[in-house]
Structure 1
């Protein structure tokens, strides 16, 4: 879902995203990324962009190879979905805001079960 807000002389685009879970078919995942890609491409670079959602991805603690989009304050280990998210952010000159400042673990973790803790919800922006 996308909402466009015009505030004074600034246009803000807010996108809500929910990525397919890790175990689903690769075709479903590909269609999600292609759809999000199309939406982002349709927004002029002069407009601000905010994407928030459950990306079912782990970008990891370290910014290795992605210092322009990952602030170095993530959680856990990077997985394939996390690499896809970082590549997406890099392609559109976006920043994963969650990773840009230190937080306590209980504020980083967005999903927790008796078996695991993960960070899968991200706020991505273009100012």
Structure 2
């Protein structure tokens, strides 16, 4: 909903300011995500997503305009395709990298945690008994 408004009124402001505002919004969204806890309610979970969605409009619309505005009309179609391909490829590489890092660190943490659990220790026996009782 915000992107058409930014496209319409974005010509009145410098695109660099809009991109900067979008980056600040993304940072705020990620900072908000970093302070979530297991007791977060629905509104607390939706707030960073809403901020991030609004910020994306402030980033991508001006970037697209700045990238394509100085080209001849016959070049804009190919340039828009290349711009979108690059953006999608970057997102895919980032997603794959984060997925690999999460998988690797999950294995490392599981190994670290299980190396400290002895099935014959008193603490483990008490915890298992408490779990079976519930």
What TM-score do the two structures reach when normalised by structure 1?
0.30
The structure richer in helix per residue is: 2
What TM-score do the two structures reach when normalised by structure 2?
0.29
> Which structure has the larger Rg?
2
